[in-house]
Amino acid sequence: MSAHARFLRAAELDSTFADGWDALAASRGELADCFDTHAWASGVLAHNPGTAERARVAAVVDDTTGQPLSVLALEHLGGGRYTTLAEDRPRSRVTSTQPDLTQLAEQLAEAGVRDLRLRRLPSRDPATHRLLRALRAAGYRVHARERSHDMLADARDGWEGHRARFRSFHTHCGRVARKIAKHGPHSFDVYTEPERVDEGFEAYADLFPRSWKGPLPPATRAERHDLVRRAAERGWARLYVLRLDGRPAATYLWFRVGSVALWHSTAYDEEFAALGVGNLAMWRAHEHILTEHADGGATEGDAPPTLVDLLPTTTTQKLRLAPEHPPLLDVEAVRGRPLVAAALPVRALARTAQAAAVGRLRARARGRTTAHTETPGGTTA
């Protein structure tokens, strides 16, 4: 297969490339990730002009189809320094099915990338290690360290196996459902279709002011709405709303990409927190996403997911439901700067200490040192 490498600005990402980027991400099975799609990136770029100006996408593109074979989304910091696109992105990766990423790494060098900082690359993804090897082969001095970890659950044995594996949580949610039933009528609504997802998103966004999180900032709300709409068009969006007496009480936003059920965010009305609405909505979301195509009538691409991904960050609820914690790597790669390259381990240690200190200060500012939870678990993401 003939291919060439490119280094693209945001304005150069045409529809062929965008569609190919999304298809590439979705083709990766249990390595698929909605944060490594054009559907996600386009919302970020549309509502953050500064980020859009700094955005650069390194890609290897098929000469015949014009579609990408490998994608690495970056942000230019000036002076040959680049980092992962979007600072608040919970995880990043090189999106690729290519067995050799030398062409991508050489493109980075040719484009003048001298100091590269990549945040939270999954150690479980073979493409991460292929990229590190390719960077070294292209003349980069590479230093990688564990920064945090994924929160995953194997779901290859379907809903029945998943339910049995987390029997205590399932039993707890049964008690919660009975308690809520005494409170009044309730419903669990699912929004997946493009024509309905706006309705679900309004309920989702309107719950935030009544939760411990506070209202979504306008730019965040618009960016997330874009993601949900684009994901619904791709068949990826799963938006759940638990209602009590017709009033939204808890909501969960999920995505189904490739073979992965990926949890994104949640909010629940603090007035109903004591009822356990967050836990019940979470478990019903699990049940729906693991059973929606389990009747055998769907195509192979719509088979139930085989991995549940609760994203990095640790909460009581996640610790119960995500027993697998493969490390995420922060990577620094330097080329043509020998003094900086020699200092990479020291720089990495300093950044780790700074990140830990910032996290402690933020926790104190919130008046707590652990995640806000509802018994027996909650989430702040």
**5-36 pLDDT, tens per residue?**
999 999 999 999 999 999 999 999 999 999 99
pLDDT for 357 equals: 47
* pLDDT at 305 exceeding the cut of 70: yes
Encoded amino acid at 130, one letter:
R
Backbone φ and ψ of 97, nearest 5°: -115, 5
pLDDT for 313 equals: 86
Give the confidence band of 294 by pLDDT, cuts at 50, 70, 90.
low
Are residues 122 and 148 in contact, defined by beta-carbon separation less than 8 angstroms?
A: no
pLDDT for 183 equals: 87
Are residues 74 and 68 in contact, defined by beta-carbon separation less than 8 angstroms?
A: no
Mean pLDDT of 281-294: 93
pLDDT for 342 equals: 57
The helix/strand/coil state of 328 is: strand
Task: With residue 243 as reference, give the H or E element that holds it.
Answer: strand 237-244
pLDDT for 336 equals: 82
Distance CA 1, CA 3 (A): 6
* pLDDT at 257 exceeding the cut of 80: yes
Mean pLDDT of 54-71: 96
Give the confidence band of 381 by pLDDT, cuts at 50, 70, 90.
very low
Give the confidence band of 366 by pLDDT, cuts at 50, 70, 90.
very low
Spell 5-44 as b/e; 16+ CB within 10 A means b. bbbbebeebeeebbebbbebbbebebbbbbbbbbbbbbbb
Distance CA 70, CA 96 (A): 4
Distance CA 227, CA 237 (A): 9
Give the confidence band of 184 by pLDDT, cuts at 50, 70, 90.
confident
Give 309's strand partners: 152, 262
Distance CA 87, CA 143 (A): 20
